[in-house]
Homo-oligomer: A and B are copies of this chain.
Amino acid sequence: MTDQTTIPRHHHGDLRNALIEAGISLLEEGGLDALTLRKCAARAGVSHAAPAHHFDGLAGLRTAIAQEAFDRFAASMTAAAKAEGDSPRARLRGICRGYLEFGLKHRGLLETMFGVPAEDILQEGNGPEDAASYMILRDACAPFVPEGTQPEVIEFQVWSLIHGYTLLFVSGRLGCLAPERIEDGPFEQVMALLDRVGDTTVT
């Protein structure tokens, strides 16, 4: 039960962040369906109508949670990019591994991040470049962009491959119904296709 003595009535002080944190907790514990405005409010120790002063309804809260989750995801990807070595191939493999790790540990957050409308996530510009996490992907892909090829092509190849693998794997569609570790699926073998990204030799 929330300790009401530490939270003054009518002026929480940092309710917006408290609601976002409460929402993240609910998503981590119970997935998408577990997130409700009233439950967030209860966890933050306020009435059910308090969130309305900080968010444009449940959709607004979800968007704010997605934005916070993207920040955490970007931080996670930054660390992952360095985890497997300094060569461009190793960095690329590292961020793909980090992507999947994030999905395994935070499935509810990942589903929220990619469930909110794209236009609510991006700022005024409308390209994916707005996202810090996308810039990490871009940096890692840059060494593999052949001359005369738009960088987006390579970036979208990598992103599609790892995003698709992550969603299919964590949702139990790749042979293991409830995967707990990366090794529960053929991650290394599937990601071998990354070695072909940017490869323009004729076959």
Contacts and interface: CB of A to CB of B under 8 A. Distances in A.
Nearest to A187: B156
Contacts of A85: none
A4 interface: no
Contacts of A167: 114, 163-164, 167
B186 A195 contact: no
Interface residues of A, number: 40
Nearest to A165: B160
Given A172-B119, A174-B128, A161 B159 contact: no
Interface string A113-150: 01001110000001110000000000000000000011
Nearest to A203: B199
Question: Which 5 residue pairs of A and B lie closest in terms of their CB atoms, listed nearest first?
Answer: A164-B164, A118-B172, A196-B196, A160-B164, A160-B165
24 contacts: A114-B171, A118-B172, A118-B173, A119-B177, A127-B175, A128-B175, A149-B189, A152-B186, A153-B186, A153-B190, A156-B168, A157-B190, A160-B161, A160-B162, A160-B164, A160-B190, A161-B164, A163-B167, A164-B167, A167-B167, A193-B196, A193-B197, A201-B201, A201-B203
